Copies of this chain bind each other. A is one copy, B any other.
Amino acid sequence: MNYVLTHIPERENKPRNKGLTMVMDKGLSTREAEDLVASSGKYVDIVKLGFGTSLLCPDLENKINVYKQADIKVYFGGTLFEAFVARDQFEEYRKYLLDCEVEYVEISDGVLPIDESLKCDYIRELAKDFTVLSEVGLKTGERHLTNDEWVEKMKAERVAGAWKVIAEARESGTIGIFNKDGSANTELIKTIDEAMNADNILWEAPLKSQQVWFIKNFGPEVNLGNIATNEVIALETLRAGLRGDTLLDFLPK
């Protein structure tokens, strides 16, 4: 829109390489996907069909087309990749992706332990046909990654061909880059930020307090993911300094 207001942070238009908003679709109907596009399409860069929901969606082809026609990238949650690998069905997953005509894929090891070199092999392999997002971080507290391991994995996966590396937080925002109470694990995030080009990281940040934290610390064009379908406009107001939490952040002092 043509802002009436001065001093609104600039945002690149889609398709863009930073300031990405990734939304989690947990099972919308096709008409609800149309509503998402109607209300927020220009602010949504990527839609993740969360975990294995794509397999349960009764109208998958049409829903994917709704997103694609709005210039929104679509990929399936990494848990679905893990589900195929856990069954030794990697080739079937590749076929499934081709059948669905999605151009993006997430590779993760959040639940299923996968040797890092094998994970990078999967990335290299799928990067031949798809744009790969890899995810680093575990979904449970049973195993643990040191801050250095986070960075090593991220670097290796970028080298293997990942377009972006996702930093895990789950839908709840209480693990990975966040503490159990949802507050930022600032040491970990700082370590990642110092080692990586921020444009290549997609931070999962489902809670408003987390979105505010990232925008205040990384600026309005930080890449944020796991945004709820009904929070996209609200997030965009945070990026634009049009919500109380960031109202005074982008004004001249």
**Residue A57 is within 8 A (CB to CB) of chain B in the complex:** yes
Confirm or deny: A55 has a beta carbon within 8 angstroms of a beta carbon on chain B.
yes
Judging by beta carbons under 8 Å apart, are B5 and A110 in contact? no
Residues of B within 8 A of A92 (CB): 4-5
Contact status A248-B26, CB under 8 Å: no
Residue from B50, B111, B112, B234 in contact with A234 in the complex, judged by beta carbons closer than 8 Å:
B50
For the complex, give the distance between the alpha carbons of A7 and B248 in Å: 50
* A118 lies within 8 A of chain B by Cβ: no
- Cα distance A32–B4 in the bound complex, in angstroms: 26
Instruction: Report chain B residues within 8 Å CB of A58.
Output: 1, 38-39, 41-42
Give chain B residues whose Cβ lies under 8 Å from the Cβ of A84: 4-5
- Residues of B with C-beta under 8 A to A245: 139
A53 at the interface (CB under 8 A from B): yes
A82 at the B interface (CB under 8 A)? yes
Set B4, B26, B242: member contacting A231, Cβ < 8 A = B26
Near B by CB (< 8 A), chain A positions 89-108 give 89, 92, 95-96
Given contacts A29-B35, A82-B247, A86-B248, contact A55 B233 (CB under 8 A): no
With a cutoff of 8 Å between Cβ atoms, the chain B residues found around residue A41 in the complex are 58
Nearest CB of B to A200, in Å: 24
Q: Which residues of A approach B to under 8 Å, CB–CB? A: 1, 3-7, 26-32, 34-36, 38-43, 50-53, 55-59, 79-80, 82-84, 86-87, 89, 92, 95-96, 110-112, 139-140, 170, 230-234, 236-237, 240-245, 247-248, 251
Beyond A4-B89, A32-B39, A41-B58: 17 further Cβ-contacts under 8 Å?
A5-B55, A26-B230, A26-B234, A29-B36, A30-B38, A31-B35, A31-B38, A39-B58, A42-B58, A51-B244, A52-B243, A53-B234, A55-B240, A56-B233, A56-B237, A57-B233, A86-B248
Pairs A–B under 8 Å by Cβ, sample size 6: A3-B55, A29-B36, A39-B57, A51-B243, A79-B242, A139-B244
